[in-house]
Amino acid sequence: MAHELGNIFESLPEDISKEIFSELVRGDSFKIERIVSKGHYSPASGWYDQAENEWVAVLKGEAKIAFEDGAEVHLTAGSYLTILARTKHKVTWTTPDTETIWLAVHYQ
Amino acid sequence: MAHELGNIFESLPEDISKEIFSELVRGDSFKIERIVSKGHYSPASGWYDQAENEWVAVLKGEAKIAFEDGAEVHLTAGSYLTILARTKHKVTWTTPDTETIWLAVHYQ
């Protein structure tokens, strides 16, 4: 089908013992992915330190992201945030009771 | 605040007699915007014919998009679709009873 629809809220994997990353679309130096978390968070030590900018939204569930400068933000359904390249950050919490569905757009 | 959150589902304008386009983030040849519709659709004649690719998702509400090849897709909450550059299309319907909230990512 030429105009195929996907659905962000459907086709959730049964096993989410690990976070699930699904690439939805890719362009030149550009990518959109869906992330499904359920109680997952980043390792206590170390930071994500990305070479590209990331625009991230929580579409369902809840999460917290901490930054190296000490700030922490609490994302609920609809929350979005731009994380510029080289901004060290980590996911400190996602709600363990339900899936958290993220949309992450990586761009230059 | 360095890590400012927005919310896709909040700050809806009171007057949506016209569709509302809000730019959320912009990069080099890249843009994410939120679109709020309520019963709006494209003019009966003519097509959108864009020089860039567009990835579009309906996060709330419902919409229909038609293509020059005769196909029509019905988007509900969570539906997403890639519309490649120069693919002529139009919005033929959005639900008149509630806001339809779109996320549109324009990329090359």
pLDDT tens-digit readout, A31-71:
999 999 999 888 888 899 999 999 999 999 999 999 999 99
pLDDT tens-digit readout, B93-107:
999 999 999 999 999
Mean pLDDT of chain B: 93
Q: Nearest by CB to A78, which of B10, B105, B107?
A: B10
Contact A53 B27 (CB under 8 A): yes
In the DSSP assignment, the letter for residue A62 is -
**Cβ contacts of B80 on chain A, cutoff 8 Å:** 5-8, 24
Q: What's the gap in Å between the CA of B78 and the closest CA on chain A?
A: 5
Q: In what order do the strands lie in the sheet with A30-37?
A: A20-27, A30-37, A100-107, A53-60, A79-83, B6-7
Chain A residue closest in CA terms to B67: A3
Q: Are B106 and B31 in contact (CB under 8 A)?
A: yes
Residues of A with CB under 8 A from a CB of B: 1-10, 24-25, 27-28, 30, 32, 53, 55, 57, 59, 65, 67, 69, 71, 73, 75-83, 103, 105, 107-108
Mean pLDDT, residues B46-50 taken together: 92
Q: Nearest by CB to A78, which of B8, B65, B67?
A: B8
Annotate A68-107 with DSSP letters as a single string.
Answer: TTS-EEEE-TTEEEEE-TT--EEEEEE-SSS-EEEEEEEE
Structure confidence at residue B73 (pLDDT): 97
Pairwise CA distance, residues B19 & A27, whole Å: 27
Structure confidence at residue A15 (pLDDT): 87
Phi/psi of residue A63, each to 5°?
A: -155, 160
Annotate A1-42 with DSSP letters as a single string.
Answer: -TT--EETTSS--S--SS-EEEEEEEETTEEEEEEEESS---
- Report CA-CA distances (Å) from A14 to A32, A60, B22: 22, 17, 36
Q: What is the pTM of this model?
A: 0.92
pLDDT tens-digit readout, A70-99:
999 999 999 999 999 999 999 999 999 999
Mean pLDDT, residues B35-47 taken together: 89
